[in-house]
Chains A and B, each alone.
Chain A
Amino acid sequence: MSRSAQTAEFLKTVRLFREFAEPDLQALTGQLRDRKLRKGHVLFREGDGGEEMFLVREGTVLVSKSVTGKVEQVLARFGPGDFFGEMSLFDQSPRSATIQAETDTVLLALDRDDLNALIEVNPRAAAAFFHGLVQVFIERLRASGELVAEITRWGLEATGLDMESR
């Protein structure tokens, strides 16, 4: 199987592209670039500029946010089929978190120009893309709420603060 066919097969496992027709997937494979990361290497840091989103093809990356000094909180782990970095494509803001390879990792990168081209040339594929994106955003929003609750519970337990009888 050719590299392009392998990439198209992989894209079918990514939620953003599940509703893509075969020709659309084939067209997309030509726009994605491989990016390899050795274990421990930082892809980008919180505050960096960026115009690419990434799909994890192999390995695992850590998403972390600076807390104090050299300590960061691990927010999530992304493995094969997951994606990240899409926020910078839309709001052009600096990266909101640091991404670091937890294992040797292979990523596929999609930049803003390629995404704009997809939207212009293939509105049907673009609609499927954004539908998948909204679904993942909802899941991540729910996960963020869970994380906030977990951290609040951690703070209450770590300080012994009894709010029920205050």
Chain B
Amino acid sequence: MTDASAPRRAKLELLVRHDDESFDLQEVTSSAAWVQMRPTRVAPDAFELAEVTSRVSREHNFILKNRKTERFLMLSEPERFLWDQMAGHTSLQEMATAYVLKYGEFNFDIIPSLIRKLQQAQLLTLEPAGRLRRVLARNRRRRILRAAETALFALERINVSSQHVQPFFGHLYRWGGFLLFTPAVAVACVLLGVLGLAAGVRLWASTEAIASGFGGHAVAAILSVKLLLLATVALHQLVHGLALVHYGRRVRELGFTFLHGILPTFYVDVTDIFMASRRARVVTAVSGTLVHLVLGALWFLVALYAPPGFFRAFAAASGLIQFQTFVIALYPFCFLEMDGYHVLVDALGVPTLKSDALAYVGAILRGAAPARPSRETALYVGYVALSALSVAGFVAFNVVLILHATG
């Protein structure tokens, strides 16, 4: 039975033009806009947060003070967790997902009521998030920066997507996609990975000779390798979607966009997997990355047996970039929130590891960190240290590779 007295959600009808003179009509309900909202708390020097523990229930609560208006708010521990997410990068939908990961259940009232409390206490702002955004917004009078801001917004708005992809993934799964989730394919992936790695090691000895196969077309070769990689990212996302179907969950969206307004990428909305088991979440995260392992191995094997020339160089470069993408996607300690990172935070039960760790290490560097270390703070320091070392190692490997290839 439906509630006849429930108010109708307001909606806007928008006409979106395309470059080819065609257009789309899109109805946007206020609820759809609300879940995509990215609340941004006021600047760090505009509020104070103090912990208070009840002597009776031993519950941890927090007092949040707006230093400008002198208004105080009492936050529960889950509310404090949500407050920490409100840095302008995380949508309410993503916050709800992080909440489920941390607490194992979802309280449907907590986010709207917290938003209301924070708005009343003037602790949320509408200023653009991110340093680049703030600099661009501050300098709108300068024509070049205004153009840069416009370009950034325009690229961010490019989003080709569909929310009606579940039947497509269902068909794909029935027509052979299910084979990807059998033990035989898993074993084949590992074997292929080992063979590919061995081929890569053998190719290392003749890197310079292989790289010379590019001749005078190095720029065109790099661009085509990158384009091919973009296509394989689409394949990576398809496998994520198939994993959802495998576990009986729904693929909510498939699309193409410019991440942070710069990086072209394909994506699938896999949030429905959070309602499945941890094993399902791990398999979903890892399965997509295996696309790069398989392709990297195949390219290396092709490069090993191909005759000298442009194609061999192209195959070796593609193999290398696929292997690197596999490692970056699966390795959690690199400051990027990729598949491996999500598996790690899921296993640790710390969904905000990166932002918490960076905030803690930043506080140490400013001399403002709490004096008493704990297991949590050790985890933060470990994450930042390991990530910094890994990024340095990755950069060093590529420098050595370029030097090795160019003699």
| Residues of A participating in the B interface, judged by any CB pair closer than 8 Å | 40, 62, 64, 67, 69-74, 100, 150-151, 153-162, 165-166
Contact = CB atoms under 8 A, between A and B. Distances in A.
Contacts of B112: 160
Interface of B: 9-18, 21-23, 25, 30-31, 33-34, 37, 112, 115-116, 119-120, 153-154, 157
A161 to B, nearest CB: 6
Nearest to A152: B10
B120 A158 contact: no
A50 B243 CA distance: 57
Nearest to B39: A160
8 contacts: A69-B153, A70-B16, A73-B14, A100-B15, A157-B9, A157-B31, A157-B33, A160-B34
A151 B12 contact: yes
Contacts of B15: 62, 64, 71-74, 100
A157 B30 contact: yes
B34 A69 contact: no
A74 B157 CA distance: 19
Contacts of A160: 34, 37, 112, 115-116, 119
Given A71-B16, A73-B12, A74-B15, A161 B119 contact: yes
A142 B22 CA distance: 32
A158 B34 contact: yes
Q: Which DSSP category, helix, strand, loop or mixed, fits chain A's interface?
A: mixed
Contacts of A71: 14-17
Given A74-B15, A157-B10, A100 B34 contact: no
Given A62-B15, A73-B15, A160-B115, A40 B34 contact: no
A161 B11 CA distance: 16
Contacts of B12: 73, 151, 154
B116 A72 contact: no
Contacts of B37: 158-160
Contact of B30 (A70, A73, A74, A153): A153
A74 B119 contact: no
A158 B17 contact: no
A154 B25 contact: no
Contact of B157 (A67, A69, A153): A69
Nearest to B30: A157
Contact of B25 (A67, A74, A153, A162): A74
Given A70-B17, A158-B34, A153 B10 contact: yes
B178 to A, nearest CB: 40
Contacts of B9: 157
Contact of B116 (A64, A157, A162): A162
A154 B154 CA distance: 23
B71 to A, nearest CB: 12
Contacts of B116: 160, 162, 165
A161 B154 CA distance: 27
A49 B37 CA distance: 39
Contacts of A166: 120
A158 B14 contact: no
B24 to A, nearest CB: 10
B73 to A, nearest CB: 14
B330 to A, nearest CB: 37
Contacts of B153: 69
Contacts of A155: 30
B14 A40 contact: no
B314 to A, nearest CB: 37
9 pairs of A and B residues whose beta carbons are closest in the complex: A157-B30, A158-B33, A154-B10, A74-B13, A70-B17, A153-B10, A72-B15, A158-B30, A162-B116
B16 to A, nearest CB: 5
Nearest to B119: A161
Contacts of B14: 67, 71-74
